[in-house]
Structure 1
């Protein structure tokens, strides 16, 4: 007899729009993925969030939230808006520290991520169009806000899949 694993509780995600403009749709899908990630992490202890639960992978939910905060900052603030802010959880000497150096408070990492998401939303809202561009730091080439939004949706989709596996290994909980 097959038993059903526990499902994610407290699903607060709003459905993505079935009609509407491109900016509204892309922003809503990205926010849906952000909320999905938060749900995957909800209700776990700091120890569970930091556990690398799918060996031999070094991924943890704590590492993923640090990585996603860094992605938000890198793409929206640094590359698109041209803000002069330091990178999060990264250095040339330790490029994987978002995943490997899990010192620090887990709640603080989530607060940083939420703040970066909010700043990203402000940047998207204030842009005149999706055609507006920033500069890719590695190549000096322009990159449109549209492209950044699509890339970030893909980034979250990939890492939400990782979060699914981690959560299921941590406490058996599944759900979309």
Structure 2
């Protein structure tokens, strides 16, 4: 899997700077390439915004914000790769109380992005160490393959990137992929 080496100052809304997944590759490379592409899409949607703008909610009563999405995806990465696939017993980065990761009124964007980047890097290491896409992990009695987890994560990011696109357009009119 490509390493995550984001230089936050280099992240822009320019989709041409985001590397696309390889068009001809094996299954593992294709899945990890699309996951990384979705991660970079979320970073791109947040690029260049102030802390206040990152905290802006979509529309009341929704609590969804770009910063909330970043915090949520950090916990989603942690849950699926560390807890389910790797068998760790980590706790959420943010309380599961009302709002949880989406309770961003006083949240520190730098902290959120650092945690998200760390979780993505841990996820990559776990994927890299897995013998094959058939490697499995457990959540309770349910068993999940690495193939399933990667596909689910692509879907999770893609869905939330749609939210991020609408949020960014509402915040400053920026649109795009």
Q: Same fold (TM over 0.5)?
A: yes
Q: Does 1:166 align with 2:171?
A: no
2:72 alignment partner in structure 1: 67
**Residues 1:143 and 2:144 aligned together:** yes
CA–CA distance in structure 2, aligned partners of residues 17 and 62 of structure 1: 29
Offset of residue 63 of structure 1: 0.5
**Residues 46-85 of structure 1 mapped to structure 2, 5 A cutoff:** 46-85=51-90
> What does residue range 22-101 of structure 1 map to in structure 2 within 5 Å?
22-91=27-96, 94=97, 96-101=99-104
Which residue is 1:126 aligned to?
129
Contact 2:55 2:104 in 1 (8 A): no
- Which residue does the alignment assign to 1:9? 14
Which is higher, the Rg of structure 1 or of structure 2? Answer: 1
1: CA distance between counterparts of 2:118 and 2:66?
Answer: 18
What RMSD in Å do the two structures reach over aligned CA positions? 1.6
* SS of 2:144 mapped into structure 1: strand
| CA distance in 1 between partners of 2:112 and 2:43 (Å) | 12
Q: Distance in 1 between matches of 2:16 and 2:80?
A: 27
Report the CA distance shift for 1:95/1:146 in structure 2 as closer, same or farther (over 3 A). farther
- Paired residues, what number? 166
User: Alpha-carbon deviation of 1:90?
Assistant: 3.6
CA shift for structure 1 position 54:
3.0
SS in 2 for 1:135: strand
1:53–1:142: structure 2 CA closer, same or farther, 3 Å change rule?
closer
Moved over 4 A (4+): none
SS at structure 2 position matched to 1:86: coil
Distance change in 2, residues 1:33/1:63 (3 Å) = same
Mapped contact 1:62–1:102 kept (Cα < 8 A): no
In the superposition, the TM-score normalised over structure 2's length comes to 0.88
* Deviation digits for residues 87-109 of structure 1 (CA, Å, limit 9, x no counterpart): 22243xx1631112543311110
Q: Aligned partners of 1:141 and 1:70: how far apart in 2? A: 19
